[in-house]
Structure 1
């Protein structure tokens, strides 16, 4: 059985739980170690007791660097007693900095996989800091065995032009995970709430102030024909007034966190549209990513809303589904959605449900294929006899 040491920047990130589930479903054993964004250590992630590397704070780059430096000193002691892994997966750049140290703690060279699912704005700067971070990434990734990323645009706009990682690339999209085998064919009928009001769901990491203001302006213009439901984890480091702002808006409501995958069907079937727009790192990461909410919303029949010029917009255009906005304005939203009625919405939703479910989801066979690819990275290839004699 393949044994993976998974080093993560935030053990409570729902995406970490999803990756652990995929690895274990595919037949791997996982040891989890990482930082946390909570005051106290986290006791359980999918039945695993994480090895706690300390606390970090969202949006505090200097503090996170200090935490990594501190963890570098204590990592050998933290890993004492953990079984030697066959492979290390380092999620994000800061964990790649710890991966080699973790390998040396086990007294052997352990293959490293670099998992990068976001391109941070700091590494894209054209100043001394940006160049230093890119040089650091190239150095740390110089002998990784595989790069795992989630969007083709990350490769085309960052990894390839900047020549950051020479390793092969594995595209693992942010798809929903299905426990059962996925059967191709027509999507199942999924009933939604009665409209109007038409309901837009914005779920997941809520970090985009511009989206919040845009949705507030739009719903006020529509005077109650549209409402917005927000669920997930608001990034209070980006807008500390999030709760006050939402409470003051008549057509916005925040309904707290949710469990993924347990609650996904219920929360998406309670809305008509899924907000798949993010201006948080406009022109960079936000234009290149293919977010979780894209796949999750479509899996359960919510019609996605995106900007037409982004990677998400291009993906939806290829699938011939969704609402694509030409400009990020309340007026553009009103032009696209303002006259929505049942017949038109039925056509929009039917096109989403008609797509092959594999477009949106991974199942056990995908998990097994991923783990097998990782397992092959651990095979030591012996030189041929002729090469050995040369």
Structure 2
């Protein structure tokens, strides 16, 4: 059985939980170690007791650097009871430093996999800070055998032209983890609201975009109750003046708290009609390049995604001729696209999503096993590098629901 040491930047991150579940379902034995940023009991994994390396805070880069240095110093003590792993996965840049220290402690020759699913704005700066961070990424990742990322736009806009990393890339999209059996992947068509009840837009997951919150609040008031905004997930409180207070005073917006992913996805998505798949958190950079979890989750349950023109999400929808694309980021722009929604138009949009293969949205047990097999192959491959390739696939113009 493949032994994996997974180093996480945030033990409370639901995405970390999903990855551990996927690796275990694929047949690996996983030891989880990482930093705590907050408490999130819903991120707990049955049978997995994580090794805490310290505590970090959102948005405090210098504090995180200090925590990483401290973790490297204490790592020998923290990992003293572990057998040598076959592979180490480092999620995010700071964990690459911890991974290199772990390899040294285990006697070397342990393949490192770098998992990077977001490109922080500091990495993109065209100044001394940005150049230093990219150099650090290249140096810390010089022995990485594999790069796991979630969007082709990350390769196109960052890893190929800017990053010094030379690890071979592997694209794993943010699909819905379903390991219960083939029947789980049956398509779902969304139902429309009963007469006199509102359409509902769901914004679920990592809630970190104050611009989205303000836009959706303004839109819902503009529609005078014909649309309701449903929020679920983990608010990044550092990005909002008063998230709970703001939502409390909105007449057509409600926050339902955190949820388990993937277990609670059917219940929360079947309670809405549209998925807000827009993020302005790092507008024009990471937010334009990512393919968010909620895109796959909503489509998995037949909910119509809403994207904005000029993003990788909009391109993704255009290729499949599904979803809605805003021309401008405003309440008026959203009203122009869905303000006069009809049941016939919505039913057609949801049905077209259901015509896509389930594999478009679902990461199943076979995918988990293939991932573990790819990681196992690293232990047998010679230590050579494959530069991140150029993106040669044709780009498509954005489209949407007619």
Q: TM-score, normalised by structure 2?
A: 0.91
Structure 1 residue matching 2:314: 3-state secondary structure: helix
Mapped partners of 2:251, 2:229: distance in 1: 10
- 2:230 maps to 229
Mapped partners of 1:185, 1:108: distance in 2: 41
- 1:385 maps to none
Spell out the pairing of 1:184-195 with structure 2 (5 A cutoff): 187-191=187-191, 193-194=193-194
1:4–1:86 CA contact under 8 A, matched in 2: yes
2:171 maps to 1:171: yes
**Cα gap change, 1:322 to 1:40, in 2 (>3 Å):** closer
Mapped partners of 2:221, 2:253: distance in 1: 10
Mapped partners of 1:13, 1:271: distance in 2: 24
2:178–2:185 CA contact under 8 A, matched in 1: no
Mapped partners of 1:186, 1:354: distance in 2: 11
- 2:356 maps to 355
Structure 2 residue matching 1:200: 3-state secondary structure: strand
Mapped partners of 1:42, 1:111: distance in 2: 31
- 1:242 maps to 243
Structure 2 residue matching 1:162: 3-state secondary structure: coil
**Cα gap change, 1:41 to 1:224, in 2 (>3 Å):** closer
Spell out the pairing of 1:29-44 with structure 2 (5 A cutoff): 29-38=29-38, 44=44
- 2:73 maps to 73
- 1:110 maps to 110
Could you tell me how far 1:187 is from its partner in structure 2? 2.6
Structure 1 residue matching 2:57: 3-state secondary structure: coil
1:11–1:34 CA contact under 8 A, matched in 2: yes
Could you tell me how far 1:183 is from its partner in structure 2? 7.1
**Cα gap change, 1:156 to 1:55, in 2 (>3 Å):** same
- 2:389 maps to none
Offset from partner CA, 1:181-204 (integer Å, 9 cap, x none): 447998344445435411000000
- 2:341 maps to 340
Mapped partners of 2:103, 2:272: distance in 1: 46
- 1:27 maps to 27
Offset from partner CA, 1:251-291 (integer Å, 9 cap, x none): 11001111111110010010000000000000100000000
- 2:392 maps to none
Mapped partners of 2:294, 2:233: distance in 1: 11
Structure 1 residue matching 2:237: 3-state secondary structure: coil
Spell out the pairing of 1:1-390 with structure 2 (5 A cutoff): 1-38=1-38, 44-182=44-182, 187-191=187-191, 193-194=193-194, 196-379=197-380
1:153–1:311 CA contact under 8 A, matched in 2: yes
Mapped partners of 1:268, 1:43: distance in 2: 19
Could you tell me how far 1:107 is from its partner in structure 2? 2.1
Offset from partner CA, 1:199-227 (integer Å, 9 cap, x none): 00000000000000000111111000001
RMSD of Structure 2 on Structure 1 (CA): 1.9
Structure 1 residue matching 2:52: 3-state secondary structure: strand
2:187–2:301 CA contact under 8 A, matched in 1: no
Mapped partners of 1:265, 1:41: distance in 2: 20
**Cα gap change, 1:188 to 1:231, in 2 (>3 Å):** closer
**Cα gap change, 1:249 to 1:98, in 2 (>3 Å):** same
1:184–1:358 CA contact under 8 A, matched in 2: no
Structure 1 residue matching 2:118: 3-state secondary structure: coil
Mapped partners of 1:38, 1:185: distance in 2: 33
Could you tell me how far 1:105 is from its partner in structure 2? 1.5
**Cα gap change, 1:335 to 1:254, in 2 (>3 Å):** same
1:201–1:228 CA contact under 8 A, matched in 2: yes
Mapped partners of 1:121, 1:171: distance in 2: 21
Mapped partners of 1:19, 1:180: distance in 2: 16
2:12–2:40 CA contact under 8 A, matched in 1: no
Q: TM-score, normalised by structure 1?
A: 0.94
